[in-house]
Amino acid sequence: MAALLLAGCSSDGADGTGGAGPGAPAGSSSRPAGPTGDATGEPSGRSLPLAGRVVVLDPGHQLGNRNHSAQIRRPVDAGGFEKDCNTTGTASAAGLPEATFTWRVAVAARDRLRALGARVLLTRSSDSDDEWGPCIDERGRIGNPGEPGPTADVRVSIHADGVLAAGARGFHVIRPGRLAGWNDDIAGPSRRLAAALRDALVAAGFDPSTYRGRQGIDVRSDLGTLNHSDVPAVMAELGNMRDRREAAVMAGPGGQGRYARAIAAAVRAYLER
Ligand code: ZN
């Protein structure tokens, strides 16, 4: 595909006005209490909309990948072919690493999803210059049936793009293309998940990509994380960190909170469909 532009991950953007800040209410979970809920006061734990649900959030890359080039270049299986374990990711011109952006968005989204009752598994536990990985295959397996820990209902991998072409901005959501024997079971639900995330990002004020995909959605079969997933999965390139105006949105807590809100809203919309 369009290898010309893909200098690592990068992408999306929106206007620089910012939206709700990180202190905004954690989702509107004020739906009627369920059978086990308290009909008059705060909902009980079991009445929360995502109670019992398990969500994998995969913050792309790791800050310390840049210090562990040998480790992250180790080839791993990416779906019947090999790719590097991981990459460093991109960065904004002002110096914000993609790994740090994805970490901040993932943590904020995790908090919102927890507030809705979900159990959230992060594929890494820090954003540290001393750590590297995990590899893309492990990121795709966490939460799969048969893996240690709970089985996930959904997986969202969070990235940003680093495209240098003028005018390249906006988000795109990547859903897994069909890869026989790898993801046959998740192609359909992942399509619905991708649409839910696209719609939520648009609702949050972000614009679809000017350079990749159709109406904010792309399809790829070359991404190890998506190929290894046995639960519905998408990868979001939330913006183009090389677009100055978009990068400014991505660098601030207001923008990061808005991305997180969209991710949580999309997961909720998909799981409650
Ligand atoms: Zn990336």
Q: Which strands, in side-by-side order, build the sheet including 54-59?
A: 119-122, 54-59, 154-161, 233-240, 172-176, 217-220
Query: Could you tell me the distance, in angstroms and rounded to a whole number, from the CA of residue 30 to the centre of ligand 1?
Result: 35
Q: For residue 250, report the distance from its CA to the centre of ligand 1, in Å.
A: 14
The CA 39 to ligand 1 mean position distance, Å, reads: 44
Taking only the tens place, the pLDDT of each residue in 124-157 is 999 999 999 999 999 999 999 999 999 999 999 9
- 118-262-255-48 Cα dihedral, nearest 10 degrees: -30
Q: What is the pLDDT of residues 168-211, one digit of tens each?
A: 999 999 999 988 888 888 999 999 999 999 999 999 999 999 99
Backbone φ, ψ for residue 240 (5° rounding):
-100, 110
What is the CA(41)–ligand 1 centre distance, in A? 43
Task: Find the 104 Cα to ligand 1 centroid distance in Å.
Answer: 14
